[in-house]
Amino acid sequence: MKKYISIFFVFISFTCFCQGNFSLLHNRKKQSFKFKSINNLIIIPLKVNGVQGSYILDTGLSTNILFKAKTKIDSSYANLRKVTLNGFGNGPNMEAIVTVDNTFQLENLQATKQRMLLVLDEHVNLSAKMGMTIDGMIGYEFFKNFIVKINYRSKQITVYNPQYFKKKTRKSYHTFPLQFHKYKPYLKGKVLLANNKEIKTPVKLLIDTGGSDALWLFEDAAQNLIPTETHFKDFLGESISGSIFGNKCRIEEFQIGDFIFKQPIVSFLDKKSTELARRIKNRNGSVGGGLLRRFVVWFDYGNKEITLKKSRGFRDAFTYNMSGLDMNYSGDILIAETKISSFYVQDKEQKLKLTKDFKFSLKPSYIVGHVRENSPGALAGAQVGDLVLKVNRKASYKMSFDEINTLFYTKKNKWVRLLVARDGKEITLKFKLQNEL
């Protein structure tokens, strides 16, 4: 799995209320289930008030969020109040409604009396960035009473009752202390920058399974946390408060305990877009799915610990989107496909006769959502809003969102050919992927 843009970071000016807990039904000791991994994010299948949906599992959230009101929400006005949501970026804050007495279920996991923030603004659309419908995000409540094992490679989560969990003690398992601030976990690490190779700078980072990139750092000249000379401004994703941009570059090293990552790709965020996040004492950034996926991870909120074990992807190269084009899922379209329904041999002509039928089905469509300035895609003429018809001569509706994005992360000098529709015309765009770092 390659690394993609970060999709969504949110801060909530809202204190968690006392509410029900997740529990394992029937006195089970553990429960395992599969998840989907898109853009290094974890998508779990969850029923909210009896309605099945897809939710991002996000350690960077102190409460749960619902984007789409297809679930059955308690609409009693006596129980509803508004709170303010805000995030990275420079846009306005957003209001959400507090809903109560919601029930969650995932196989033998169940939680009652759960509060959710209902986002009513239709412009908050993670589905476009994920290639599938995303109904909301689940945060702290999922983790707080369990030991949660996440295996990114097998795409499996196992939730343990702490009473029956045997702590990992082999040398390959490394346990680190967590600090919590407003129900969010923080981990200490060190960075070695190219412009100062003699000093490793200590950093305090939010562990954010809701972030796609490996590492975000907040620019801070006083701590020598500044981009290297070789960098470029890149689009990192969307927040409730607007688009997020940062300076992308490579640093010499990033270290957690004895784990050392050489030449990781880091995005540096400026002070203006991270003003709220910097209020958290000594916070220097975030570590996301692009790095966590290199481990099997155990979260133990009760003991304020995280355990990491190398997975087979530990030494994977750190890559990025070399096309400069960010794709958006644009909904399903009706496609007519032909198929042979019957055939027979005509005696006189000794010729095979075929009968064809048309089958109509809904298929995904994709548009260009963002174009990085001076990138290969930009220089080839790509524009925001271009409807992608073909990718390397293959119909785009036959490709998954993940498949298209992965192509842009493959290797430098690889040719990419796009057929796009713009203003009623079909245009061919051709470019080479270029590694600018």
Cα–chain center distance at 250: 21
CA distance readout (Å), 433 to 407, 408, 419: 10, 7, 16
Residues 271 and 407 in one domain: no
Residues 306 and 182 in one domain: yes
Residues 15 and 153 in one domain: yes
In a domain, 320, yes or no: no
Residues 304 and 339 in one domain: no
Domain that holds residue 238: 173-310
Residues 391 and 419 in one domain: yes
In a domain, 6, yes or no: no
Which residues of the chain fall below pLDDT 70?
1-20, 68-79, 87-92, 122-125, 195-197, 238-242, 272-280, 336-360
Residue 332, pLDDT score: 74
Residue 401, pLDDT score: 87
In a domain, 256, yes or no: yes
Residues 31 and 147 in one domain: yes
Query: Distance between CA 263 and CA 259 in Å, rounded?
Result: 13
Model pTM? 0.85
Tens-digit pLDDT profile for residues 220-256 = 877 888 888 889 888 887 666 667 788 999 999 999 9
Dump the DSSP string for 140-180: HHHHTTSEEEEETTTTEEEEE-GGGPPPP-STTEEEEE-EE
Residue 194, pLDDT score: 72
How many structural domains are present in the chain? 3
In a domain, 319, yes or no: no
Q: Strands across the sheet with 147-151, in order?
A: 30-34, 156-160, 147-151, 295-300, 305-310, 173-177
Residues 32 and 130 in one domain: yes
Tens-digit pLDDT profile for residues 344-375 = 555 555 555 555 566 667 788 899 999 999 99
Residues 304 and 353 in one domain: no
First and final C-alpha spacing in the chain: 20
* Token pair 């969990």 in the structure block, residue: 165
Query: Distance between CA 331 and CA 244 in Å, rounded?
Result: 24
In a domain, 5, yes or no: no
State both tokens at 37.
């991994």
Tens-digit pLDDT profile for residues 263-311 = 999 999 877 666 666 666 788 999 999 999 999 999 999 999 999 999 9
Query: Distance between CA 113 and CA 14 in Å, rounded?
Result: 17
Nearest to 40 by CA among 333, 335, 320, 232: 320
Residue 259, pLDDT score: 95
* Cα angle: 56, vertex 60, 66; to 5 degrees: 45
Query: Distance between CA 59 and CA 143 in Å, rounded?
Result: 8
Cα–chain center distance at 334: 28
| CATH code (residue 424) | 2.30.42.10
Domain final position from 147, 164, 181: 164
Residue pair 135/53 in contact (Cβ under 8 Å)? The answer is: yes
In a domain, 4, yes or no: no
State both tokens at 142.
């999922």
Residue 348, pLDDT score: 58
Residues 39 and 99 in one domain: yes
Residues 157 and 177 in one domain: no
Residue 15, pLDDT score: 46
Residues 339 and 410 in one domain: yes
In a domain, 2, yes or no: no
Query: Distance between CA 61 and CA 371 in Å, rounded?
Result: 29
Dump the DSSP string for 288-354: -HHHHTTEEEEEETTTTEEEEEE-TTTTPPP---SS-EEEEEEEEEEEEEEEEEEEEEETTTTEEEE
| CATH code (residue 195) | 2.40.70.10
In a domain, 437, yes or no: no
Residues 146 and 178 in one domain: no
